Amino acid sequence: MPLTLTLADVDRLAAEAHRDQFDKIGVPYIEHVRAVSAGLAPFGVGLRMAGLLHDVLEDTAVTVEDLARAGVPSSVIQLVQAVTMQNFDGYASMLDAVAGNYGAALIKISDNAHNSHPERLARLPEDKRARLAAKYHAARGVLWPAVALEDVRAIVERVNPSLLPDANGPQR
């Protein structure tokens, strides 16, 4: 790996880490992290990299040390750690901590928006769909107020416009 990783380099790293993984609806997992990263486009390459890597520490064998050896910037690694569930006592404590870290909150907003996409939810069994829809809705109540409204809008417009019910901005 070069000393300075590009977004394409990190995409390849994420693709390798998530190789052979599929999400809840049977789609290759890399498509989810790419969608999360795309939602973070207005916020720079570092956040896009963190979006690509946001699940590697909890869902793959990749470690913090592996990321550092690969040349991932420490600021990106810190964001990935900030959104990694295994570092918390549960989903609610993770959301509370993430809400206090602007960059991490942006990543989780993009993650939540993609996971909440109606086309994705529609492919789940009804019981799982209802449970996850409620979980993601509640999470938005914690995450969205943690950042500027225009930043929420910038992400949601890219990832899941259905969350923007009108021109007045996202529902909080």
User: Which phi and psi (to 5°) does residue 28 adopt?
Assistant: -50, 130
**With 50 as the cut, is the pLDDT of residue 168 above it?**
no
Flag whether 169 is in a domain.
no
User: Measured between alpha carbons, how far is 144 from 93 in angstroms, rounded to an integer?
Assistant: 16
Quick check: helix, strand or coil at residue 5?
Answer: coil
pLDDT at 1: 41
The residues near 116 (Cβ < 8 Å, ≥ 6 apart) are 133, 136, 137, 140, 160, 163
In a domain, 85, yes or no: yes
Quick check: is 133 in a domain?
yes
pLDDT band at residue 67 under the 50/70/90 scheme: very high
* 75 compared with 87, residue with greater pLDDT: 75
pLDDT, residue 3, reads 54
**In this model, does residue 81 exceed pLDDT 60?**
yes
Angstrom CA distances, 51 to 11, 14, 30, 104, 124, stand at 10, 10, 11, 9, 24
Indicate whether 170 belongs to any domain.
no
In a domain, 166, yes or no: no
8 A C-beta contact, residue 33 and residue 18: yes
Give the residue from 61, 56, 59 showing the smallest Cα distance to 10: 56
> Is 84 within a domain?
yes
Is the Cα torsion angle 132, 123, 32, 36 positive or negative in sign?
Answer: negative
Residue 57: exposure state from Cβ atoms within 10 A (0-12, 13-18, ≥19):
buried
**What pLDDT does residue 86 have?**
79
Q: Which is higher by pLDDT, 172 or 80?
A: 80
Instruction: Of 48-52, 89-93, 145-149, give the lowest mean pLDDT range.
Output: 89-93
% of the chain exceeding 90 in pLDDT: 88
Structural domain boundaries enclosing 118: 7-160
**pLDDT at 130 (0 to 100):** 93
Is pLDDT at 107 greater than 80 in this prediction? Answer: yes
What is the C-alpha separation between 137 and 110, in angstroms, rounded?
13
In 3D space, the residue among 45, 52, 61 whose CA is nearest the CA of residue 10 turns out to be: 52
Number of domains into which the chain is organized: 1
pLDDT digit string, tens, across residues 125-137: 999 999 999 999 9
Residue 1 resides in a domain = no
Establish if 95 belongs to a structural domain: yes
Q: Of all helices (H) and strands (E), which one includes residue 60?
A: none
CATH number at residue 74: 1.10.3210.10
Nearest to 163 by CA among 98, 112, 104, 94: 112
CA angle 19, 29, 38 (to 5 degrees): 115
